[in-house]
Amino acid sequence: MKYQAAVLSLVVAIYTSAVIGDDNLIPPRREVYNNGKIFDITHRYQPDMPAFESSDGIGQFLWLPKSMKNGSIANNSEMKLPTHTGTHVDAPGHVFDHYFDAGFDVDSLDLHILNGPALLVDVPRDSNITAEVMKSLNIPRGITRVLFRTLNTDRRLMFQKEFDSSYVGFTVDGAKWLVENTDIKLIGVDYLSVASYDYLIPSHLVFLKDREIILVESLKLDDVPAGLYSVHCLPLRLAGAEGSPIRCIEAVLSQMPQEEWIINDVEPNKLLQWCPYGVRYLLWNFVNSVCASKTVNSNANSHSTYVWLCGEIPVVPKCSSLTNSAVKVHWKCGKLNVTIVRTYSVKSLKRHAQ
């Protein structure tokens, strides 16, 4: 039997060499795809990747017990890896033992929250993410997924083998402010923990106690412009695990900057069925908050609903005081500036470039 396996292995090796050849056997290592429309924001696992409170990195995590070079008919690896290393996700059972016992593991996480429109923001580089920092970002209600890029990315901490406890993360007051004043359900950060080292457990408790927020840690956010993306994060279905490695990508929602979409006599809720995917983000709650503050004046002489696509973010007015006005939205490092621009009245549905 061993003789037959050895012969088969040799035949496979000869056939593979003949078919594939020995040229151009350098695999591509890409992080940007489709001409800059898709970004891989997952760190590559390797032995010198940092591990929490370790000076030696994660070390060897991959073995090859069955090798074609040693007579096996195929290469088969085995892996042993802590669930909270590299780009990974936290489940509620990570810091709540009763949630762990009840089965709130990574398999129970809501994939809808882990996939959808997300905002990548740049955090001020001179502090942890405190309540004051959160206020300064001006993240409006209605945004449910935010990736926070911090000094960790500038310092390339995820490329250093030794764990660095001076990393930037959320303080307790910053965590509480986010929970109490935003609609964020997915938090992404660029080092091993969402919580700063001095507030490690308390900040985690704030985020995970209600089982509504999902934490994605150690994202690779260098060389990705701040703005709006469609993020897709998929953890492994590990029954009983409180964490899991996760593959995350983000795709640009639109490649149509500075375009106008003019729609006549279309109700906003029906607009969702017609407009491109990015419109489904809409920022309805933000527009409602503007209406509630009575800081916007409407133009009662216009009769059309107007959608402005500025850069990559389309917004549709929802409430009555904005029905006849256009909202022009700019994103810059997560900060929002709103301006009312002229409206149009048209007889038919049309699209034109500015």
Domain ranges of the chain: 2-28+47-79, 88-252, 259-353
pLDDT at 21: 52
Q: Which long-range contacts (CB under 8 A, 24 or more apart) does 24-31 make?
A: 31/220, 31/223
DSSP run (H or E) holding 78:
strand 76-79
CA-CA distance, 66 to 280, in Å (whole number)? 48
DSSP run (H or E) holding 89:
strand 88-90
Whether the CB-CB separation of 153 and 183 falls below 8 Å is answered with no
Whether the CB-CB separation of 328 and 233 falls below 8 Å is answered with no
Half-sphere exposure of 145 (CA within 13 A, CB side): 21
pLDDT at 253: 66
CA-CA distance, 237 to 131, in Å (whole number)? 34
> According to the CATH classification, is domain 88-252 in 3.50.30.50?
yes
CA-CA distance, 247 to 224, in Å (whole number)? 16
CA-CA distance, 329 to 327, in Å (whole number)? 6
Torsion of CA 147, 148, 151, 154, to 10 degrees: 20
pLDDT at 18: 47
Whether the CB-CB separation of 183 and 143 falls below 8 Å is answered with yes
Q: How many other β-carbons are positioned within 10 Å of the β-carbon of residue 315?
A: 23
pTM of the model: 0.69
Whether the CB-CB separation of 163 and 206 falls below 8 Å is answered with no
CA-CA distance, 264 to 338, in Å (whole number)? 23
Q: What is the DSSP string of 108-122?
A: GS-HHHHEEEEEEEE
pLDDT tens by residue, the chain, 354 residues: 555 555 455 545 555 554 455 556 777 777 788 777 889 999 999 999 999 999 999 999 999 999 999 999 999 999 999 999 999 999 999 999 999 999 999 999 999 999 999 989 999 999 999 999 999 998 887 889 999 999 999 999 999 999 999 999 999 999 999 999 999 999 999 999 999 999 999 999 999 999 999 999 999 999 888 888 899 999 999 999 999 999 999 988 643 332 233 333 333 433 333 333 333 333 333 333 333 332 223 332 322 223 333 333 334 333 333 333 344 433 332 333 333 333 332 222 223 222
339 class by beta-carbon count within 10 Å (0-12 exposed, 13-18 middle, 19+ buried):
exposed
DSSP run (H or E) holding 245:
strand 243-252
CA-CA distance, 8 to 14, in Å (whole number)? 10
CA-CA distance, 282 to 98, in Å (whole number)? 37
